[in-house]
Amino acid sequence: MKAISFNFEIHQPMRLKRYRFFDIGNDHYYYDDFLNDDIITSLAHRSYIPAAETLLRMLSDKEHPFKCSIAISGIALEQLEQYVPEMIDLLRRMADTGRVEFLAQPYAYSLASLTDPEEFALQVKQQSDRITALFGVTPKVMRNTEFIYSDDIAPQIYAMGFKGVLTEGAKHILGWKSPDYIYSSATAPKLKILMRNPKLSDDICFKFSDTTWPEYPLTADKYIDWIAATPQDEQIINICLNLDTFGGLQPATSGIFQFLEALPHFARERGIEFWTPSEAVAKIKPVDQLVVMHPISDADEARDTSAWLGNQLQNEAFNKLYSIAERVRLCDDRRLKQDWTYLQAADHLYYMSTKHLADGAVHSLFSPYETPFQAFTNYMNVLSDFIVRVEEQYPLSIDNEELNALLTTIRNQAREIEDLNREVESMRKNIEHYNEEHKLPEPPKNAKTTNGTSKKKTTGKASPKKVNK
């Protein structure tokens, strides 16, 4: 038995507006609303919506059973809710078929897993809660930002209650091994690892409409043939694509939607099923342990984290950002928290890459900036302003630990006051009942309305004893 597990990713960052250093301290709105609206709306109409409609048809086709999984970042969800709410409806209808699984990932599409376990856990929870609230299903398998995974991250994922994780079938990790099996983590043996098949995924993603490719044109028939031709015991083929591959990277005119829709037909002919990642994790036993010392990802030739943390610019931005993480978590300001989320998106670091040649071309394809230096300058200016705002929340002279202790005290006291107030309230009611029952004369009532609270309290505190007795 062989199965295909399709995973579609939806993510769009909140792109920053041109933010000059003299705006620092003066302007606290960082986003290019027009650009963000424009990109997500046009992409939704070109790609997300037609793709979702196609998938919905495939999911409802009882004759050719189809299943897939979707991963969507919190930032993308927010933008869809704001600019393209019809897409949310489509996702909900997909969820209603019961044949779609939603995967967990950090809400902010951040690299928190590389540096800040607490932030990572918080964001994954935030994302899972959001998915549950919107679609009524709770993620059970993790797909980290850009498939980032390492031995350090594995125990964190397992501790959050996930049974499986989807990551990149990176050649330098797998060596001669195939990505089409399930592996287990070296540091969290109960955590199962699903691996993206890079060749079969990229054939659709990058090569589908490439006329210089010897395999052009790629048909569903041929594609399923390739999958059927893989060795008998390779059971699970993970095809992971950005949803905007359909209609975005590969234009609708290339026939990509028809290709997608035809897949279940040919799959059934050859006895290949479609599974969701949870199914795969539940049904298949791991063949081996996988040691991943250094983080892997799906980006660039190197398949490591160098796309985001490959040069000094990126490292400074990244370190500066997470240097204030603890402080931000102590704050309650909602706008501050929101900016914190948006600023963490890995995309901002991706734009700062100074890689050239083939990788550089991919980087600049997605970047709203002309050069990595511009990307860095703009981001650092925004971050500088953000840091100023965080510092304004609480004086810097108090360190995090002390501040945390103080805040805890304040919160505890607030709770105590609340409790006491509630007690006072109930006592007061008791007195009223008591007074009504015993039909006391008017004067005390007048005293209640005109006199200060101190008197009330004294009477209140005195009376319960009487009542209790």
Partner 1 sequence: MKALMFGWEFPPHILGGLGTASYGLTKGMWECGNMDITFVIPKPWGDEDRSFAHIIGASQVPVAWRDVNHDYVDSRIGRLMSPDLYYRLRDHIYADFNYMRTNDIGCIEFSGRYPDNLLEEINNYSIVAGVIARTINFDIIHSHDWLTYPAGIHAKQVTGKPLVVHVHATDYDRSRGNVNPTVFNIERDGFLHADHIITVSNLTRATVIDKYGIDPAKVTTVHNAVVPLSPELLNVEVNKPKEKIVTFLGRITMQKGPEYFVEAAAKVLKNNHNVRFVMAGSGDMMDKMIELAARRGIADRFHFPGFQKGKQVYEMLKASDVYIMPSVSEPFGISPLEAMQMGVPSIISKQSGCAEILNNVIKTDYWDIDAMADAIHAIISYPSMYNQLREDGLKEVAGITWDKAGAKVIDIYNRVLG
Q: Give the interface with partner 1 as residue ranges (CB under 8 A).
A: 20-22, 24, 311-313, 315-317, 354, 356, 370-371, 373-374, 376-377, 380-381
The amino acid sitting at 462 is A
Report, in Å, the least distance between residue 316 CB and partner 1.
Answer: 3
Report, in Å, the least distance between residue 68 CB and partner 1.
Answer: 41
State the Cα–Cα distance between residues 214 and 218, nearest whole angstrom.
10
Task: Pick between residue 332 and residue 370 the one whose CB is nearest to partner 1.
Answer: 370
Surface-to-core class of residue 57, CB atoms within 10 Å of its CB (0-12 exposed, 13-18 middle, 19+ buried): exposed
If you ran DSSP here, which 8-state letter would residue 301 be given?
T
The position carrying tokens 């026939």 is 255
User: Is the peptide bond preceding residue 65 cis, with omega within 30 degrees of 0?
Assistant: no
Surface-to-core class of residue 167, CB atoms within 10 Å of its CB (0-12 exposed, 13-18 middle, 19+ buried): buried
Task: Pick between residue 254 and residue 374 the one whose CB is nearest to partner 1.
Answer: 374
State the Cα–Cα distance between residues 55 and 400, nearest whole angstrom.
48
Report, in Å, the least distance between residue 303 CB and partner 1.
Answer: 23
The CA-based angle 25-31-33, given to 5 degrees, is 140
Report, in Å, the least distance between residue 17 CB and partner 1.
Answer: 13
Question: Phi/psi at 9 (nearest 5 deg)?
Answer: -105, 140
Task: Pick between residue 99 and residue 363 the one whose CB is nearest to partner 1.
Answer: 363
Task: List the beta bridge partners of residue 273.
Answer: 3
Which of 9, 101, 119, 146 is flagged as catalytic? 146
Task: Pick between residue 388 and residue 462 the one whose CB is nearest to partner 1.
Answer: 388
Report, in Å, the least distance between residue 358 CB and partner 1.
Answer: 15
Cβ(187)–Cβ(157) under 8 Å?
A: no
Task: Pick between residue 135 and residue 376 the one whose CB is nearest to partner 1.
Answer: 376
Report, in Å, the least distance between residue 457 CB and partner 1.
Answer: 54
Task: Pick between residue 254 and residue 354 the one whose CB is nearest to partner 1.
Answer: 354
Task: Pick between residue 241 and residue 321 the one whose CB is nearest to partner 1.
Answer: 321
SS3 breakdown of the chain: % helix, strand, coil, rounded to 5?
Answer: 55, 10, 30
State the Cα–Cα distance between residues 352 and 379, nearest whole angstrom.
9
Say whether 146 is catalytic. yes
Question: Phi/psi at 187 (nearest 5 deg)?
Answer: -100, -15
Report, in Å, the least distance between residue 307 CB and partner 1.
Answer: 16
State the Cα–Cα distance between residues 376 and 321, nearest whole angstrom.
13
State the Cα–Cα distance between residues 414 and 430, nearest whole angstrom.
24
Task: Pick between residue 184 and residue 314 the one whose CB is nearest to partner 1.
Answer: 314
Residue 30: CB partners within 8 Å, gap ≥ 6?
Answer: 16, 17, 19, 339, 342, 343, 382, 385, 386
CA atoms within 13 A on the CB side of 159: 11
Q: How far is CA 429 from CA 213, 421, 423, 441, 463, in A?
A: 81, 12, 10, 17, 11
Report, in Å, the least distance between residue 163 CB and partner 1.
Answer: 40
Catalytic residues: 146
